[in-house]
Amino acid sequence: MKGEKTLVALAGQPNSGKSTVFNALTGASQYVANYPGVTVEKKTGSYKYDGGKVEVVDLPGTYSLTSYSLEERVTRDFLLHEGPSVVVDVIDASNIKRNLYLTFQLLEMEIPIILDLNMMDVADRRDIRIDTDKLGKKLGVSVVPTTIKKGKGKKELVMSIAYLSGGGQAFQPSRIDYGTMEPFLREIKDKLSEEKPISEGYPLRWAAIKLMEGDSEALKLIGKKRSNPEEFLEFVENERRRFESEQNEAPEHHIAFSRQRTADTIVRACVKPKTKNERPLSDRVDGFICNKFLGPIFLVAVIYVLYYLSIVQGYNLTSYTWPLLAKIRSLTESIMPEPGFIYEPLIRSFSLWFVDSINALLNYIPIFFILFGLIAILEDIGYMPRMAFILDRIFSKFGLHGQSTLPMVLGGIYVGGCAVPAVMSTKGIPDERSRLATILTIPMLNCLAKVPLYVLLINIYYAQHKVLAMFFISTISLLIVLTVAKLLTLTVLKDKETAPFILEMPPYHLPTIRGVIGRAVERVWLFIRKIITIVAAIAVIIFALLQFPGISDDRNAYYNGEKEKAVGIFYKKIEGASYADRLQGENLMALVLYWDKYKKAKMMAKGKEAVKALNNKFEEENPVFFKIVQPKKDKAAKKVNKAFKKLFKERRKLLREIKKEKIDNSFLGRIGRYLEPATQWAGFNWRVNVALLSAFAAKESSVATLGALYQQEEEGETLETRMEKGESGFTPLHALALMLFMVLYPPCIATTIMVKIQTGSIKWMLFSMFYPMVLGIFAAILVFTGGSALGLSGLEVMFVFYSLALAITVMMGFVKSRPETI
Amino acid sequence: MTLDKLRPGNACIVKRLTAIDKLGRRLMDMGFYPSLSLKVIRNAPLEDPMEVEMDGFFLSLRHEEARFVEVEQK
C-alpha cells in the first residue's frame, strides 16, 4: 500500500470507547470540522503505515442507523457515499449483545468490517469469557480484541486494517435471517433490479430492508432513482401492509426484533456469562449518586466544585495571565503615536480600544480552560446522564430536558457563568424543542459580566440589604428562565420536533489525562476561532458609534483655550525657578509623558528593590525630569513639582470632559437620547441607555461606560459615589428596574454567534436578540412605573416581583405542553 | 400491564411495544424486544424518570415512555 491513501471509518455505539480508539490510532494529527450543512462534528485524523497514509474518520456514536436522528443520518450518508475501504466497528466487550444491533446494520451495508472488541479488561474483570474465534466465524468478520486505553491490541488492529483494505477478506459476512419477511425482501429486490440505476450505489438487500422498514430517507433516496417513483413507493407500501396483516406485526418491529434475537443467539453461543452474580460496581455507586436524598446533595456539591474551581480559582488564575495581556496593551501603546496634551490621535485610541475589547474576552480563557477540562472529566466519568436523570423531572415540566442541566450550570444557574460555553454545550440534547428552548433562555442566567453592574447598583442603592438583593438577583433569573422556556415551548417552539428521553446510564470510567486536556484545548480553540474574529468586527463598529461625529470646532477651541490657560498658570508659577527654561515648548509635553510613564511603572513595581531599579532607570533616561518627579530636598524642583501636579490634574480633568462630551455627542449618545422618551417609563435616562447600548458588545462595558459618563471630581472617588452624585434623582426603584433589565438583556455578541452556530439559523439568532429586549423593557416598565404608581419602595417592589415570579413559575410547571408524539 | 407501573426491584418480561414512530424506534434501538427480561432498578429522586437493567445494560426512561412497553411481571 506504498504511497496510497486509505480511508477508514470508525463506527460504534456511544460509550464503546470509540474516541479512545481514534486517539490511539491517529495521535495528535486530528482535525475537527462539521459535516456539510449540519452541526454534527466530523473528526478526521491519520496515521502512516507501510509507507502509505491511512485517513481515519471518527463517525458519531449511534445506537442504530435509521433516519430519525441527525447523527444517524450523517453516519449512514458517510458510509453510503464516501466509500471507506474499511469500517472498524468498535464495540464494548462487556456488552456485546446490544452493540451487535448496530453491527448487523453495518454488515447489511456490505462494507468490509473489522470488529474491535474494545475494553476487554472490563469484560475480564467482570468474568465475561468471550470466544472471539467463534464470534468472528458466526458474524463472518475479523474480530480484534483490544484494551486500547492501555495500548493493548493496537498493533493487531492496525495490521488487520491494512490486510482488509489491501483487498484481503477474512470471511464471508453473515446475514440476518428475517424469517417470514424473506419472501417480501426478495420481491422488493427483484423489483429493484428491474431498473439498473438502483443497483449502482446501494446494496440491493440493504435497500430492500430499509424500504420494508419504511425508513423515510431511504424511501426518498431510492424512490428518486426510479422512473416511476409513485408506482414504486405504492408497491413498497403494499408489501409493508401485506406483511403486517399476514404476520400481525409491524415490519419495522419485525426487523428490529430479528436483529435483537439474532444478537441474543450469537452471544449465547460465544460468550460465557459471568459466573459471579453480583451487582456491577457502577450500579452500586449509583445507589448513592442517584439516591433520593444523597443524589441531589451530591449534585449540588458537584456544581459547587465546578463553580469554585473554574469561576473562583480560574478567576484567580487570570491575575497571572492578565499581565501578559496587559503587556500586549502596553506594547500597542508604545508603538502608537504619542498622545497630545488634550488630544489623542485617532489611530491610538482605536488601537487601544481594539486591544481592550479583545483582551476582555481573552481574559476568560483560563476560566474556560478549567471549565472545559472539568466538563470533559464529568463526561468521561459518566456523570452527565446521572445529572439528567436526577433533574429531568423538573426541567421537563418547563419544556426543557434533563440534559439542559449542564448548559444551565455553565450559564450561571446561581451567579457567574458564561453563556458562550453554555450554548455550546446544548449540542448533546436530542430533543430539538428542548434544545432550542435551552439555547434561547440560558443567556438570561447571570453571566460573570453582568455581575459588576449588579454589584455597583446594590452597593449604592441596597447597601442595607446587600445579601438579600444579591439573592434576589441570582435566583430571579432562574425563575425567569423556567417561565420563559415554558412560554416559548407553548408558542414559537410549539411545532418543533421532540424526542424521547431514553438515555443510557453507562458504567463509570476513569478519565484519561490526554482525553481531558485534548478536549479542553479543542473547545477553547473553537471559542477563539469562532468568536474572537466577530467580536473584533463589532468592536470596530461600536468604536465608531462612540467616537463620531466627535466634538464641534467651537468646543475644540474652548478646550484649547482651557489648555492654554492651564499651561499659562503653570509657567507663571515656576517663573524664575532654575528648571523653567528646560520646560519650554515641546519639553513640557515630554515631561507630561515622562511623568505619566513613571507613575504607571511605579504602580506596577513591587518591593523596594524594584522601585530602586525603576528610579535608576528613569534617572538615567532624563535626570532633569527625574528631579521634578522626585524633588527630594531640591527646593526649586519641589516648586516645579507642585505646580506640575496641578497642571497634570487639570489635563486629566480636560481629557475626561472631552471624552464625556464625545460620548454625549456620539451616535450612540444620540440614540440613547432618542430612546429616552420611551425608556423613561422604565426609569432609564439617556446615560443609562448609552451604557446599556454599549454593553451589547460585551456586558462588562456597561460599567466601563458608566465610569466614563460619571466623572471623577476628586482624586480616587469610587464609581459608586460618582454615580450617586451624578444621578441625584435615582432611587432603589430605578436600580431595580435596571438590574432586571440586565437579567433579561439580549445575549452579548459572542453568545449570539454561538446561537447562530448551534441553531444553524440567522432567524433564531435574531430572535434570541430581539425577544429579551422586549421582555426586558416590559419588566423594567412594570417595575418602575408600577412601583412608582403604587408608591412602593425598591425593596417592596423586589418582594412583590419575586413572589409574582415564583407564583407564575409554579403555575407554569403545571401547564401541559403539547403531548409528545408517540 | 405496562412497564411504568412496576416498582424498583420488580422484574418482568417484555411482551409488546405499542409505540410507533420515533418513540417506538428509539425503544427498539435501545434494546427493547419481546421476550427480553428486564428489571426496574430505581426511580429518580423525584420519581421520574426510572432506571431499568437489561442484560447488564442500564437505561433510564420517563414513565410516560415506559407506558408503551407491555410487560409481564415475573
What is the model's pLDDT at position A642? 79
pLDDT at A269 over 80: yes
Where residue A678 falls among pLDDT bands split at 50, 70, 90? confident
pLDDT at A822: 43
Given a cut of 90, is residue A222 above it in pLDDT? Answer: no
Q: Is the pLDDT of residue A317 over 50?
A: yes
Rg, Å, chain B Cα set: 11
Rounded mean pLDDT, A54-81? 88
Residue A670, C-beta contacts closer than 8 angstroms, at least 6 positions apart: none
- Domain parsing of chain A, residue ranges: 5-165, 181-272, 287-549+678-822, 553-661
Beta bridge partners of A45: A30, A56
Q: Is the pLDDT of residue B55 over 70?
A: yes
pLDDT for residue A821 is more than 50: no
**Of A223-232, A496-505, B56-65, which gets the smallest average pLDDT?**
A223-232
Q: Which of B23, B31, B60 sits opposite A505 (nearest CB)?
A: B60
A500 with B62: Cβ contact below 8 A: yes
DSSP per-residue string spanning A767-820: HHHHHHHHHHHHHHHHHHHHHHHHT--HHHHHHHHHHHHHHHHHHHHHSPPPPP
* Least confident segment among A638-647, A779-788, B51-60: A638-647
Average pLDDT of the residues in A452-458: 83
Cα–Cα distance measured from residue A530 to residue A754, given in angstroms and rounded to the nearest whole number: 8
pLDDT at B72: 94
B37-43/B11-17 β-pairing? antiparallel
Partners of residue B44 in chain A, C-beta under 8 Å: 290, 295, 389-390, 392-393
Q: How far apart are CA A57 and CA A74, in angstroms?
A: 12
Give the confidence band of B50 by pLDDT, cuts at 50, 70, 90: very high
d(CA A211, CA B1): 33
- A418-442 mean pLDDT: 89
**Which strands, in side-by-side order, build the sheet including A113-118?**
A30-34, A41-49, A52-58, A5-12, A86-92, A113-118, A142-145
Would the pLDDT of A219 be above 80? Answer: yes
Q: Residue B17: name the closest of B74, B66, B51 by CA.
A: B66
Q: How far is CA A472 from the centre of its chain?
A: 26
The average pLDDT across A652-656 equals 82
How far apart are the C-alpha atoms of A447 and A414, rounded to whole Å? 9
As a whole-number percent, the residues of chain A with pLDDT over 70 amount to: 93
For position A263, what pLDDT does the model report? 93
Query: Residue B73: enclosing H or E segment and its boundaries?
Result: strand B69-73
Question: What pLDDT sits at residue B14?
Answer: 94
Helix, strand and coil in chain B, % to nearest 5: 20, 40, 40
Is the CB of residue A127 less than 8 Å from the CB of residue A2? Answer: no
- Substitution target in B28, B37, B40, B68 with the highest count of A β-carbons within 10 Å is B28
Which positions 175-214 of A are in contact with B (Cβ < 8 Å)? none
What kind and span of H or E run contains B67? none
Name which CATH class applies to B3-73: mainly beta
- How far lies A660's CA from each of A65, A529, A687, B25, in Å? 62, 34, 11, 64
Rg (CA), chain A: 34
Sign of CA dihedral A292, A293, A298, A300: positive
Distance CA A482, CA A480 (A): 5
* Whole-angstrom distance, CA of residue A404 vs CA of residue A407: 6
pLDDT attached to residue A805: 93
Asked whether this chain's domains A5-165 and A181-272 adopt the same fold, the reply is no
- Mean pLDDT across A413-428: 82
* Cα dist from A619 to A588, A596, A611, whole Å: 17, 15, 12
Q: Which residue has the higher pLDDT, B73 or A703?
A: B73
Nearest-CA residue of chain B relative to A284?
B41
Q: What is the DSSP letter of A147?
A: B
CA-nearest residue to B30 within chain A is: A63
Please tell me what DSSP assigns to residue A86: E
**CA-based torsion, A605, A606, A610, A615: positive or negative:** positive
Q: CA A527, CA A358: separation in Å to the nearest integer?
A: 13
Least confident of A95-104, A245-254, A744-753: A744-753
Considering chain A, what is the average pLDDT of its residues?
84
Residues A232, A238: Cα–Cα separation, whole Å: 10
Size of interface A-B (CB pairs under 8 A): 132
- Give the Cβ contact number of residue A347 at 10 Å: 10
> Closest Cα partner for A60 from A35, A30, A80?
A35
pLDDT at A1: 45
Nearest chain A CA: its distance from B47 CA (Å):
8
CB contact under 8 A, A260 and B65: no
- Residue A531 makes CB contacts below 8 A (sequence gap 6+) with A361, A420, A750, A753, A754
Q: What are the angstrom distances between the C-alpha of A142 and each of A93, A158, A205, A575?
A: 15, 12, 22, 98
- Which position has the higher pLDDT, A455 or A133? A133
What are the start-end ranges of the E strands in A13-103?
A: 30-34, 41-49, 52-58, 86-92
Of A416, A408, A434, A450, the C-alpha closest to A744 is A450
Section A608-629 average pLDDT:
80
Q: What is the DSSP string of A452-514?
A: HHHHHHHHHH-GGGHHHHHHHHHHHHHHHHHHHHHHHHHTTTTTS------EE-PPP-PPPHH
ipTM of the complex: 0.96
Of A261, A392, A500, the CB nearest to B44: A392
A52 vs A632, residue with greater confidence: A52
Residue of A nearest to B47 (CA): A393
b/e map of A695-719 (b: 16 or more CB within 10 Å)?
bbbbbbbbbbbbbbbbeeeeeeeeb
- C-alpha distances (whole Å) from B63 to each of A774, A814, B49, B52 are 38, 17, 6, 11
The 10s digit of each residue's pLDDT in A165-212 is: 887 765 577 888 999 999 999 999 888 887 765 556 688 889 899 999
- Check if the beta carbon of residue A430 is closer than 8 Å to that of residue A499: yes
* Amino acid, res. A452: P
Please give the backbone phi and psi of residue B17, each rounded to the nearest 5 degrees, phi first. Answer: -105, 130
Q: What letter would DSSP give residue A696?
A: T
Three-class HEC string of A87-113: EEEEEEHHHHHHHHHHHHHHHHCCCCE
Q: What is the mean pLDDT of residues A469-497?
A: 90
Pairing of strands A271-272, A129-130: antiparallel
Work out the burial of residue B26: count CB atoms within 10 Å of its CB; fewer than 13 is exposed, 13-18 middle, 19 or more buried.
Answer: buried
Assess B9–A contact: CB distance below 8 Å, yes or no.
Answer: no
pLDDT at residue number A170: 57
Q: Are the C-beta atoms of A758 and A423 separated by less than 8 Å?
A: yes
Contact present, A108 and A175 (Cβ < 8 Å): yes
Largest distance between two CA atoms of chain A: 117
The C-alpha cell of A810 is what? 409554579
Q: Does B7 touch chain A (CB under 8 A)?
A: no
Per CATH, the architecture of A5-165 is what?
A: 3-Layer(aba) Sandwich (3.40)
Distance CA A489, CA A470 (A): 29
Residue of A nearest to B54 (CA): A98
Query: Where would I find the H helices in B1-74?
Result: 21-29, 63-66
| Pairs from A578-584 (Cβ < 8 Å, separation ≥ 24) | A578/A636, A579/A624, A579/A627, A579/A628, A579/A636, A579/A637, A579/A640, A580/A640, A582/A624, A583/A640
- Residue B48 touches partner A, C-beta closer than 8 Å: yes
A chain contacts of residue B48, beta-carbon cutoff 8 Å: 392-393
Chain A residues touching residue B61 (CB < 8 angstroms): 500-503
How many CB atoms within 10 Å of residue A24? 20
Q: Cα(B68)–Cα(A247) distance, rounded to whole angstroms? A: 21
CB of B13 within 8 Å of a chain A CB? The answer is: no
A694-704 tens-digit pLDDT: 787 777 777 76
Straight-line distance from the first to the last Cα atom of chain A, in angstroms, rounded to the nearest whole number? 51
Residue A767 in this model has a pLDDT that exceeds 90: yes
Distance (Å) from the C-alpha of residue A204 to the closest C-alpha of chain B?
23
Contact A276/B at CB under 8 A? no
Residue type for A597, please?
K
The CA-atom distances, in angstroms, between B20 and each of A265, A375, B25, B68 are: 26, 35, 7, 9
The pLDDT-based confidence of A12 (bands split at 50, 70, 90) is: very high
Measure the CA–CA gap between B44 and A11, rounded to whole angstroms: 32
Alpha carbon distance A309, A403 (integer Å): 22
Residue A456 makes CB contacts below 8 A (sequence gap 6+) with A703, A706, A719, A720, A723
Separation of alpha carbons A4 and A414, rounded Å: 55
User: Quick check: B65 and A504 CB within 8 A?
Assistant: no
State the CB neighbour count (10 A cutoff) for residue A113.
23
Verify cis geometry, omega within 30 degrees of 0, for the bond prior to A623.
no
Which residues 6+ apart lie within 8 Å of B50 measured at CB? B4, B8, B40, B42, B43, B44, B60, B61, B62, B63, B66
CA dist., res. A585 & res. A589, Å (int): 8
CA distance A772 to A269: 60
Q: How confident is the model at residue A464 (pLDDT cuts 50, 70, 90)?
A: confident
Which of A503, A816, A817, A818 is the best residue to mutate to test the B interface, defined by the most B CB atoms within 10 Å of its own CB?
A503
Q: 385-424 in A: which are within 8 Å (CB) of B?
A: 385, 388-390, 392-394, 396, 402
User: The domain A181-272: what is its CATH number?
Assistant: 1.10.287.1770
pLDDT band, residue A655 (cuts 50/70/90): confident
What are the pLDDT digits (tens) for B12-45? 999 999 987 889 989 999 999 999 999 999 999 9
